[in-house]
Amino acid sequence: MELELFTALVLPLLFSIAAGIYGFRRFPERRPTLLLNLICFQFVGAFALRTEPSIQLLSVMALHVLCVGILLAKHVQSPELVPVHVKR
């Protein structure tokens, strides 16, 4: 059973890492929402890991935690974007 849960979650978690990095770099104004969605993926993976523990799922979750942690740290360190209005 644990292999079925791993195969069901590995692609969504890897996709969320790739889409999270792309969205973080490409759309700075959407970073808070993006990071909240990535944290929600963390909760889903943590629930799956709690119900059916496996070393493979733990390794994918560790990679996801590392990526989300780095993105959160970069977001906290980056200055806030202020909209600029140009007069014509």
pLDDT digits (tens, 9 = 90+) for 5-36: 888 889 999 999 999 999 999 998 899 999 99
pLDDT given at position 23:
95
pTM over 0.85? The answer is: no
Residues 6+ apart with CB under 8 A from 42: 61, 64, 65, 68
Residue 29 in contact with residue 62, Cβ under 8 Å? Answer: no
